[in-house]
Amino acid sequence: MDKERYRLDTLYREHSRRVQATLIRLLGDFELAEEAMQDAFVAAVQQWPLNGIPDNPQAWLIRTGYHCGVNQIRQLSTARRRAHLLLPTDDALDLEPATIQDDALRLLFTCCHPSLSMEARIALTLREMCGLTTEQVASALLMKPSTLAQRIVRAKRKIRDARIPYAVPDQEALPERLPDVLQVIYLVFNEGYSRSMGSHVVDVSLTKEAIRLGEALAALLPKGEVFGLMALMRLNDARRDARQDSAGDLVTLDEQDRDLWHQEDIRSGIKWLEQALALTPTGYYTLQASIAAEHSQASSAEQTDWGRIVRLYDALCRRNDSPILALNRAVAIAMNGDPTTGLQLLDDLAHHPQMARYHLFYAAQADLLRRLGKQDDACSAYQQALLLTTLDPEKRFLLKRLNDLEQSA
């Protein structure tokens, strides 16, 4: 029974988002699809331990969820209004693997529709496509959970009332929709690459889903920035097994065992980057990928070309007025041999409202203060970072640094 339960939990993590994406297509409603998906997994918990897991569990879950959704609609007073959204019989359900995969892309473009605000697009995608909790999405977006929840509710209502189509746009409309979709895919990847909370640094299911969406988008719209994003994700994902040790503790980039980096992923990332650099203009993701490539191709932390990384951050900051980029640039300058200037640049960012809620700002500040021998100030910064951190391995890492400082003092 425990083994079956474990397999059910695994199937939920791997399939729930795709099941929900297809149920949205079949049922025509976000909330109804989510309820139907949950009902389908409840049915699986009850039936699979007795009957065994079906040969095609994803199709079973979709069919079961569809029937649960139809039953709900029949019980509602809105049955007539919604009846036209439903397919008439099981035979009409399109459950081909390619169609189910495309449903995720359809959902992505629906969540990223231009009639929604940018904040709503990102929040809705992280919540509905990736299954993150409201608290996780709020943490990733540096927002209050209550504000985030209201934004998601309003976005779903607008999709319903405006009858925003559940479809991939035509070729003419794709380019103007591209930047928002790329941003959302990157945020999905980042949440998997560095979780906002929990006991694991990496969630491979999220990073794989982001990369799969990126590959589907590259086939649909082969543009430089799509290639750049693919390069960035591949190069960063290559480090996944080195970022947490066997005890579950965080391992920083300069301390990682580079033999654990996946060379095949690095080669794939470099190929994507070469395709991106061959097209102009060079954009945000291509520049970020170029920074990742510098790290990936350095034989050791000491051999990293921090001067080139600083220049790449200079180019990024000229194009994007982002406090996160400014933070990364300050750290790169410090790593390039000038921690005093790096710390001054961080101090200049301290007034920014995003930084007040961003634990990595205080962690970076603490690290530079520690390097400069300002132990009391470093301890205060580490304490502030600890207050804002929700990922267990990061908490342990910061606490160890803080304890080491206090003992040395």
Per residue in 87-100, pLDDT tens?
A: 545 555 767 777 77
Distance CA 11, CA 357 (A): 34
pLDDT of residue 1: 47
Half-sphere exposure of 261 (CA within 13 A, CB side): 26
pLDDT of residue 379: 96
276 found inside a domain: no
381 found inside a domain: no
Contact in structure between 317 and 331 (CB atoms under 8 Å): no
Q: Structurally, how many domains does the chain consist of? A: 1
Residue showing tokens 């003092």: 409
Distance CA 189, CA 235 (A): 12
Q: Dihedral of CA 326/328/329/335: which sign?
A: positive
Domain that holds residue 50: 1-92
Number of H helices, E strands in the chain: 19, 0
Structural tokens at position 176:
């103007």
30 found inside a domain: yes
- DSSP-derived letter for residue 300 is S
Contact in structure between 401 and 389 (CB atoms under 8 Å): no
Distance CA 63, CA 92 (A): 11
In degrees rounded to 5, what are phi and psi of residue 257?
Answer: -80, 105
pLDDT in tens, the chain (409 residues): 455 565 777 778 777 888 988 998 888 888 889 899 999 999 998 898 888 888 888 899 999 999 999 888 887 755 555 555 555 455 557 677 777 777 878 888 888 888 888 788 888 887 887 777 788 778 766 678 888 888 888 998 898 888 888 888 887 777 788 888 898 899 889 888 988 777 888 888 789 888 988 998 898 888 899 999 999 999 999 999 999 999 999 999 999 999 999 999 999 999 999 999 998 789 999 999 999 999 999 999 899 999 999 999 999 999 998 999 999 999 999 999 999 999 999 999 999 999 999 999 999 999 999 999 999 999 999 999 999 998 899 999 999 999 999 888 6
Listed in sequence order, the residues at least 6 apart from 269 whose beta carbon sits closer than 8 Å to its beta carbon are 230, 231, 232, 233, 234, 235, 238, 289, 292, 293, 296
Distance CA 185, CA 86 (A): 30
31 found inside a domain: yes
62 found inside a domain: yes
**pLDDT tens digit string along 149-172?**
888 889 988 988 888 888 888 877
- DSSP-derived letter for residue 256 is S
- DSSP-derived letter for residue 170 is P
Residue showing tokens 């591949």: 234
Contact in structure between 180 and 121 (CB atoms under 8 Å): yes
178 found inside a domain: no
Distance CA 289, CA 285 (A): 6
Residue showing tokens 């996944």: 240
**pLDDT tens digit string along 6-21?**
577 777 877 788 898 8
Contact in structure between 289 and 235 (CB atoms under 8 Å): yes
307 found inside a domain: no
53 found inside a domain: yes
Contact in structure between 25 and 95 (CB atoms under 8 Å): no
pTM of the model: 0.78
Cis upstream peptide for 339 (omega within 30°): no
Listed in sequence order, the residues at least 6 apart from 37 whose beta carbon sits closer than 8 Å to its beta carbon are 16, 19, 20, 23, 61, 65
**CATH number of residue 31's parent domain:** 1.10.1740
CB count within 10 Å of CB 141 equals 17
Contact in structure between 30 and 54 (CB atoms under 8 Å): no
- DSSP-derived letter for residue 373 is T
Question: Which residues on neighbouring strands pair with residue 244, listed in sequence order?
Answer: 250
